[in-house]
Structure 1
Amino acid sequence: METLLSHSFDYLSSTAPQKIRKGLRQVEGLLAQLCLSKTSHGANKRQSMLLLGSTTLSPQSKKLSDLPSDLAFREFFKLQQSFQWNIAMRLVSCLERLLGKESNGTNDMLIIQTLDLIQGVLLLHPPSRALFSQEIYMNLFLDLLDPSNCPAIQSSTIMALVTSLLDQPQNTRTFESIDGLLVITSLFKSRSTSREVKLKLVEFLYFYLMPETNPPKISSSTSATNTAILGGRGKEVIAAFDRRRETVNGPEGGVGGAKGPKMDGPTRTTEEKQNLLGKHLSNVQDLVEDLKEGGGVFGVNGV
């Protein structure tokens, strides 16, 4: 797996569109094998490659409960804990370079493919979402929501943005601090925005307005599961990716280490976020009422 990642990273760091596309396809192939194929035995690995290249056969999807015992996923997860092998970081760097290029059909397709892979990696490896607590990376999403970009880029950006915010209150605070709500609502109110993008923006607003909770504390059973997935390195991994949260909230779970029920993290309620969104949008109360009645539409069509 390290050899495959090394080759794909080399392609992703290239300036040639053909090489970037090849790197993206290699990453996509790796993620597809993790999600769609049984890779516990050599024969199944060979069968997986045949299935991935076939247009008539449909690989069987893995169940989430199968992942702790899946050797390929355990190896993938352990590698992603290392900066050297972290796919999300390489994809974000690739996205930065693509944004610096002239807009054309080829470049737009590469941007969309990169965004889709970022979404997939963040779902498979949630700790990588911590990247987007930094303004420089969150700003990439806001740049891609510029009205000058095509609807396909805007739609893929919204989905990747949502994935980066899942169970990450600190990322949401970063999004708010760099005027993310202004960007979202301005795009929503623009007459030039396509209907498809506006529907995804409505889904995003439902998602944003949901009340936040801090990630649950690690229980003994959860710790055992993490250790099984990570091959015995659960404690070290959890500590490494909780370190940034501790610098924000303090080692006791509160800001600056303060104790108390309201100091468990930088979370906000629906009412608090309604007030923030109301500065940019007039009918937020309708969204909130709809959310309370039926949970909005995001839970059906979104992540």
Structure 2
Amino acid sequence: MQTELCPILEQINSVDVDRIWKGLKSLEAFLESLSPAVRKYHRSGIVSNKLASFRALQENFQYNVASGLLKTYSLLASSSETINDIYFAKANFLFSGLLLIHPESRLLFGNEQNMALILSFLDPESGSYKENLGVSFVSLLIHILIKDVRNMRLFEKNNGCQILIHHLNVNPAEVSRNQDGGNVTKDQSTLHFKVIEFLILYLSDESELLALPNNAGVHSVSVREKADLFRPKFPGIDDLIESLNDLNSLRSAPYLG
């Protein structure tokens, strides 16, 4: 398996954007080859030799794919070439899948620099801002923060709440002045729904999560304290939380039809 991963990692960490794309496509094929083993694990709890081998290699920095992908983002963001959004979208898709296969790679986002890097692509005040990839990067954030209170604290420390809520505040008419095409309002609505999905995850009580081994010793924050982080840019956060609670109540209510 090392012989498969080494050329992939070399390619996605190249300064040549064409080689990066080739590496991303190769990584996609590699992760797809693990899909049967992952499905088997979820069905039966049995870890195949191939999946076990991959997970073991991810504990070795030399073969850690998540570390390689983080470098890919930095290389693409700093490239002097014009980078097509599809590069970032593909990297986000692969990173999200990787975190499902190897959740321990979320530990990398306990590093403030790594968390700040991902948030920079959602920050309108950042030179790395990707206006058309909001849904893709918010989706990646969900995979980074899910069941990981430590990463939530780093997200907050890096101004993540105010960066994120900006995308719920944006007026579609304002966006249309900066973009062409008839799908602007639809795209913005899709982004709003993705931000709501993120908030359902983030604005949840953390008590059950603190029992997980990866969250041992992490400071917990109440839903009220989280709401206060959004308030400067989104005064209506309390109404939003009430709506989210109503939505969760509807989801958990028994079907009486």
Deviation at 1:174, TM superposition (A): 0.9
2:18 is aligned with 1:4? no
Alignment of 1:110-189 (within 5 A): 110-147=87-124, 149-151=130-132, 153-189=133-169
Return the letter of the residue paired with 1:188: L
CA contact (8 A) 1:203 1:298 kept: no
The CA distance in 2 between the partners of 1:292 and 1:175, in whole Å, is: 23
Deviation at 1:38, TM superposition (A): 5.5
2:205 to 207, 211, 226: 211
Query: 1:160–1:38: structure 2 CA closer, same or farther, 3 Å change rule?
Result: closer
Return the letter of the residue paired with 2:225: E
Structure 2: unaligned runs, 5 residues or longer: 176-187, 253-257
The CA distance in 1 between the partners of 2:137 and 2:67, in whole Å, is: 16
Deviation at 1:66, TM superposition (A): 3.7
Deviation at 1:102, TM superposition (A): 4.6
With the length of structure 2 as denominator, give the TM-score of the two structures: 0.81
Deviation at 1:186, TM superposition (A): 2.2
Alignment partner, residue 227 of structure 1: none
Alignment of 1:1-303 (within 5 A): 1-35=1-35, 37=36, 61-62=39-40, 64-66=42-44, 68-102=46-80, 104=82, 106-147=83-124, 149-151=130-132, 153-191=133-171, 192-193=174-175, 194-212=188-206, 213-214=208-209, 216=211, 253-254=216-217, 265-295=218-248
Alignment partner, residue 236 of structure 1: none
Deviation at 1:206, TM superposition (A): 2.1
Q: Deviations over 1:154-180 (max 9, x none)?
A: 211111111111111111111111111
Q: Deviations over 1:172-210 (max 9, x none)?
A: 111111111111122322334533222212222222111
Q: Deviations over 1:15-34 (max 9, x none)?
A: 22221111111211121111
Report % sequence identity: 27
Query: 1:205–1:64: structure 2 CA closer, same or farther, 3 Å change rule?
Result: same
Query: 1:13–1:296: structure 2 CA closer, same or farther, 3 Å change rule?
Result: farther
Query: 1:84–1:204: structure 2 CA closer, same or farther, 3 Å change rule?
Result: same
Return the letter of the residue paired with 1:199: F
Structure 1: unaligned runs, 5 residues or longer: 40-60, 219-241, 246-252, 255-264
Deviation at 1:270, TM superposition (A): 1.9
Paired residues in the alignment total 233
The CA distance in 1 between the partners of 2:251 and 2:77, in whole Å, is: 28
Q: Deviations over 1:120-139 (max 9, x none)?
A: 11111111101111111111
CA contact (8 A) 2:109 2:115 kept: yes
The CA distance in 2 between the partners of 1:273 and 1:161, in whole Å, is: 16
Return the letter of the residue paired with 1:167: K
